[in-house]
Chains A and B, each alone.
Chain A
Amino acid sequence: MHTARIRRIGIAAVAALSVFTLAACSNAPAAEYDPDEEITLNFTWWGNEDRASRYQQLMDKFTEQHPNIKIEGTFTDFASYYEKRATEAASGGLPDVMQFIDSYIGQYSENGQLLDLNTMSDYIDFSTFDDLMLSMGRVGDKQLALPGGFNVWSMSSNKALLAEYGLDEYEGGTSWEDYSAYMASVTEATDGALYGGTDYTQRIQDFEVWLRQQGQELYEDGALGFTEDDLREFWQLGAADRDGVTAPQNRLEEVAPQTGVAAKMTATELAWSNAMVNYQAESGSEEFSLIAPPTSDPNAKDLYRQGGNQFAIAATTKHPEAAAMFVDYLVNSADAGAVFGTSTGFPASTSRLAGTKLEGADLKVSQYLDSVADRIGPTPPIQNVPYGALEAVFWDLGKSIGLGAISIDDAVQQFFDEAAVSLD
């Protein structure tokens, strides 16, 4: 009887103690990672079906290695990606791990939305990145994101389709005027069945490259690095092309959100280097090439490495260590290199690159990067500028110009008005 009661009290005491500790543990975030704790991480990215299945492979592989961590993946298209993040950020509920593009890091860093990855250095191997790669996700001395892959501005060219018409590809690196002449030659030779390209003055990246060829930058110290005249001059560059050389905007509108080159409407398109692999798949073409963009100064270092495919952790995450481990897996593992190749950008870390099999289209990306190495200059630092929103405004205005719905002067005015509001 005695022992029984004592035992009962003892059990009760232990039970009470466990409840206490459990309660304490669940309220405060674990000071250290506990490999026995069942964790579920939310992970989100933008992309298509193909990318989704690749990420699924990685998520499964990660859980094999860390059976207590389950990853719940969600995705959307790019257009609505940051809309969703915005509402989540507003209500304090960003996902644990997010695919992130450099153009939005500045905004999200402003209010501490992203975790400083330096604090998780126990779980992430930074040694596989050179400083340039790290700088793509760095604001001040905080590492807010890490690149999985990087891109360089380039031209995707549908080599197989051009060959069908017996046409040569663009030679790369010529003046902008010569590029226009090339596009015209393609459009004429095929009688409009295949257009030489799309109006390059629509993309803000072309504008940026053009500015850098003249020693200017798109943004400086959080403000615009160019004048209204610069913009006007640039948009006027495309005027002749819009008149029958490049694909008519109203046709492009119909195939949106696909691009002209993916729709086999155009032969070339200026885009990020990782796009080529996707265009080739989407258009069903046998072969695509990556060619150097035009330049007004062959010696200019107008191109740069862009951190388009990075990964960030929400500052409000309840499992920073597990999230960091997953990020490390995404950016550093050989698995990631094998699964993704160059479709989300050229691998940024040496370890991920080591796992990447460079063949076929992926090899072309590698070769392209080597071929334009001379033109690669410093990556613009991340500033608190709404790049994404302004890029969309720029593109919309470019399209409107193409549709004849707005004059260049009005478009310039609108762009600067928008910029004034968003940059203040």
Chain B
Amino acid sequence: MSAVATRRARRRVGTVVWFIVMIAMIVVVLYPLAWMISASFKPNSEFASNQGFLPHDPTIQNYVKVLAGVAGIPLWRFFLNSLILAVGSVVGTVISASMAAYAFGRLDFRGRPVFFAAMIGTLLLPFHVLLIPQYTIFRMLGMIDTYWPLLLGKFLASEAFFVFLMVQFIRQLPRELDEAARIDGAGHVRIFTSVTLPLIKPALVTSSIFAFIWSWNDFLPPLMYVNSPESYPLPLALRIFNDQTSVTDYGATIAVSVLALLPVLLFFAIFQRFLIEGVATQGLKG
């Protein structure tokens, strides 16, 4: 009996130790986020003097200053711009990637292996190879300083990651469902919309969330294509803040950084399960 008791005790101790270790790691990993939030409430004068974690004199002054925007453009405008881009990315991605995925995953057509390899190849392609020529093309199409260069690719399934994710899902679907629909007289489009899409909803949701977040954080393409400050998405707006604010204004920079991250963190908090499970399954079938 004592042997069982010892083992149980040891297991309990083990669990406690495990918890302590995990909590310690969480503290370390989340420290930058915590520091960021706390620092955003520190008045500027404290940055040099107070190295501690908590502000001595918490203030929302940084946020007030930042909400006024920069260069006469209110902050919500930048948020709106980012939102437009993000939603556009989601819509474009879901439509085009699912179509491509259906083609790769369900249809047998000439050249499929080659195209599939090409698509996977684009996962390994550095964007910089395309930067200069793409700019010239978009210029010829008269699309500079619009959001088109940032969104067009999304509508053309340019992100192989999503196509790949959805292909994996589609391949797992039993073909019997397709056959049943076909017997009922459905063509590919009907099968796609009525059978496939509903069944790969988790992949669609995961893709949507990732598409949203990646678009939200996107920096280089807006840097290249968006010229007017009123059209800046958040990453560019952050940069003006950082460049324009005087050096003692750490507070404003951090406050606006926090605000910019809030939607992402919010999305994450709500949809974490989809995200994590989407990531997890992707890796397994890969």
Contact = CB atoms under 8 A, between A and B. Distances in A.
Contacts of A367: none
B11 interface: no
Contacts of B64: none
A75 B70 CA distance: 12
A6 interface: no
A93 B246 contact: no
Nearest to B244: A48
Nearest to A255: B247
A282 to B, nearest CB: 4
Specify which of B70, B140, B228, B244 lies most central, judged by the most chain A CB atoms within 10 Å of its CB. B244
Interface stretch (A83-91, A176-184, A370-378): A83-91
Given A74-B227, A77-B240, A91-B140, A53 B71 contact: yes
A255 B239 CA distance: 15
A93 B144 contact: yes
B72 A52 contact: yes
B144 A283 contact: no
B6 interface: no
Contact of B135 (A56, A74, A87, A284): A87
Contacts of B247: 255, 258, 262-263, 282
A49 B70 contact: yes
Contact of A284 (B70, B240, B248): B248
A72 B228 contact: yes
Contacts, number: 56
B272 interface: no
B193 interface: no
A87 B246 contact: no
Contact of A91 (B139, B223, B248): B139
B176 interface: no
Contact of A262 (B136, B223, B240, B246): B246
Contacts of A92: 139
B184 interface: no
A84 B72 contact: no
A92 B224 CA distance: 15
Contact of B71 (A49, A79, A87): A49
B243 A257 contact: yes
Interface in A32-54: 44, 48-49, 52-53
Given A75-B229, A87-B135, A91-B144, A48 B243 contact: yes
Interface string A43-79: 0100011001100100000000000000010110101
Nearest to B140: A91
Contacts of A74: 227-229
Contacts of B240: 49, 77
Nearest to B138: A91
A176 B10 CA distance: 75
Contacts of B243: 48, 77, 79, 257
A56 to B, nearest CB: 6
A167 B224 CA distance: 48
Contacts of B136: 90-91
Nearest to B69: A49
Contacts of A44: 227
A48 B243 CA distance: 8
Contacts of A263: 247-248
A87 B224 contact: yes
Contact of B139 (A56, A72, A77, A93): A93
Interface in B141-159: 144
B187 to A, nearest CB: 43
A52 B71 contact: yes
Nearest to B246: A282
Given A87-B135, A91-B135, A91-B136, A53 B72 contact: yes
Interface string B226-257: 01110000000001100110111000000000
Interface of A: 44, 48-49, 52-53, 56, 72, 74-75, 77, 79-80, 84, 87-88, 90-93, 255, 257-258, 262-264, 281-284
Given A48-B244, A74-B228, A87-B135, 4 more contacts: A56-B72, A72-B228, A77-B243, A263-B248
6 contacts: A52-B229, A72-B228, A84-B227, A87-B135, A257-B243, A264-B248
Pairs A-B, 7 closest by C-beta atoms: A91-B139, A258-B247, A282-B246, A48-B244, A52-B71, A263-B247, A77-B243
